[in-house]
Amino acid sequence: MKNVAKALLGAVSMLAVTVAAPAMAEPKAEVLHYWTSGGEAKAVQALQEAFKARGGTWVDAPVAGGGGDAQAAVLRARVLAGDPPAAVQIKGPNIQEWAEAGALGDLNAVAEAQDWDKVLPETIQNIVKYDGQYVAVPVNVHRVDWIWANPEVLAKVGADVPKTWDEFNETAEKLKAAGIIPLAHGGQPWQDATVFETVVLGVGGIDFYQKALVDLDMEALGSDTMVKVFDQMRKMRGYVDPDFPGRDWNLATAMVMRGEAAMQIMGDWAKGEFAAAGLEPGKDYICASTPSDGGYLLNSDSFAMFNVSGDDNVEGQALLAELILGTDFQETFNLYKGSIPARTDVPRGEFDACAIKSMDDMVAAAEGGTLMGSMAHEIAQAGAIRGAFIDVVTAHFNSDMSSTEATEKLVKAIKLAM
Ligand code: GAL
């Protein structure tokens, strides 16, 4: 995979520094992130408050746009201009790329002090370590493969949350016949890709997901199974409302809240919206994993500390890293955000049934070998490869392209991107 970061940094050379707390500097941190929706904003606000409570000066640098593509463009431009922010919300292989390019400071001092090796699952350690060094601090685990449903709306057609894709289609047809929007969806490429990967997992199965979206096996990518996946995506195009193009994900979640639509397929950041609206799982809304034979699609947000000069910045980075993986903050943040803690020893008492299900399913999936990195959310793939998937998926979703043509285009696009 081409290292875009290295090419960018070629222009601006920087030395990797160890992030540790020098004496007497005023901790300060400019934080680049894309958390601007109701639940997201509450969660990042909690981090700001914790940082300020410890005497830190937080410089907020939000970039609106779910999924983070807009933020990634701002980051590249800032690095190219030799002005990287101190802390950046970042994920998956992107962390490795920036670390390989020498743009990140290591967090080993904080990691040793807080014993990260003991409290973080191996899957998460592998995401935030480069060459055995901690170069980012994980803040959560988000599950991607969820259905969020309005029980009252489903009851109008005598349906429960579907457990198979056939059931999903039957229920959606009944809802449509009753004049109800079956699927609340936001027409943005990353959202189309989010739905797509849950269909790959459910229609193709775990091994197929691994082969096609992780290993990039050309036979799997060009197979009849992939044609079936696009067939299902074509059906789902028929279950969204005409106003879906360009809609932000949280506005689709709000449609389910208000009973304007029956279901949304989205990661559990959607739960942060339900929580921010004071709604309760099992009563006002239902969470269920999308139909599959036991997979779990993992997404995890982290903060990487870019090489910036000045003791106040370095102290700010160390303080942020310490706060983010503190048990109290891990609880507070994830209750707002809809995700579960990255560290495994946070008490469960405050977490709801959806979070407990995510915690248990993640452990079972890790043990059973069915824990899959999300492609759409840059855990299994990033950069050009992820872009190739998203381009074909969204082109198919927003046209009358046949499933066979989409499958052929996918194989070509992935080959080109490799
Ligand atoms: C994901 C991110 C989540 C959530 C979502 C919507 O990529 O990891 O934390 O914010 O986008 O913006």
- In this predicted structure, the answer to whether residue 367 has a pLDDT above a threshold of 50 is yes
Q: Which of 90, 124, 269 to mutate to test the pocket of ligand 1 (most atoms within 8 A of CB)?
A: 269
Phi and psi at residue 190, to the nearest 5°: -65, -30
Tokens (6 digits) for 268? 């559990």
- For residue 67, count CB atoms less than 10 angstroms from its CB and return exposed for 0-12, middle for 13-18, buried for 19 or more: buried
Closest ligand 1 atom to residue 40 Cα is: 10
- Residue identifier of the C-alpha nearest atom 7 of ligand 1: 67
pLDDT digits (tens, 9 = 90+) for 138-151: 999 999 999 999 99
181 forms bridges with which residues in the sheet?
Answer: 261
Instruction: Look at residue 6 in the predicted model and tell me its pLDDT.
Output: 57
- In this predicted structure, the answer to whether residue 17 has a pLDDT above a threshold of 90 is no
Amino acid identity at 316: G
Q: Where residue 382 falls among pLDDT bands split at 50, 70, 90?
A: confident
Instruction: Look at residue 164 in the predicted model and tell me its pLDDT.
Output: 98
Angle between helices 383-397 and 189-199 (to 10 degrees): 90
Q: Check if the beta carbon of residue 359 is closer than 8 Å to that of residue 351.
A: yes
Closest ligand 1 atom to residue 300 Cα is: 8
pLDDT digits (tens, 9 = 90+) for 111-125: 999 999 999 999 999
- In this predicted structure, the answer to whether residue 131 has a pLDDT above a threshold of 50 is yes
Q: What is the DSSP letter of 67?
A: T
- In this predicted structure, the answer to whether residue 356 has a pLDDT above a threshold of 90 is yes
Beta strands in 209-336 (DSSP E): 261-265, 286-289, 296-299, 302-305
Q: For 292-321, what is the mean pLDDT?
A: 95
Residues contacting residue 333 through CB under 8 Å, at least 6 positions apart: 43, 46, 47, 139, 140, 324
Q: Where residue 376 falls among pLDDT bands split at 50, 70, 90?
A: very high
Distance 74 CA to ligand 1 centre (A): 16
What's the whole-model pTM score?
Answer: 0.94
Give the C-alpha separation, 76 to 278, whole Å. Answer: 37
Instruction: Look at residue 8 in the predicted model and tell me its pLDDT.
Output: 53
- Residue identifier of the C-alpha nearest atom 12 of ligand 1: 66
Q: Name the 3-class secondary structure at 120.
A: coil
pLDDT digits (tens, 9 = 90+) for 222-279: 999 999 999 999 999 999 999 999 999 999 999 999 999 999 999 999 999 999 999 9
Closest ligand 1 atom to residue 37 Cα is: 12
Distance 129 CA to ligand 1 centre (A): 21
pLDDT digits (tens, 9 = 90+) for 70-95: 999 999 999 999 999 999 999 999 99
- Residue identifier of the C-alpha nearest atom 2 of ligand 1: 67
Q: Name the 3-class secondary structure at 32.
A: strand
- Residue identifier of the C-alpha nearest atom 1 of ligand 1: 67
Give the C-alpha separation, 76 to 239, whole Å. Answer: 37
Closest ligand 1 atom to residue 337 Cα is: 9
Ligand 1 binding pocket, CB closer than 6 Å? 35, 40, 66-68, 142, 249, 269, 299, 301, 377
pLDDT digits (tens, 9 = 90+) for 28-42: 999 999 999 999 999
pLDDT digits (tens, 9 = 90+) for 211-227: 999 999 999 999 999 99
302 forms bridges with which residues in the sheet?
Answer: 90, 138
Q: What is the DSSP letter of 204?
A: I
C-alpha triplet 320, 357, 189: angle, nearest 5°: 70
Q: What is the mean pLDDT of the chain?
A: 94
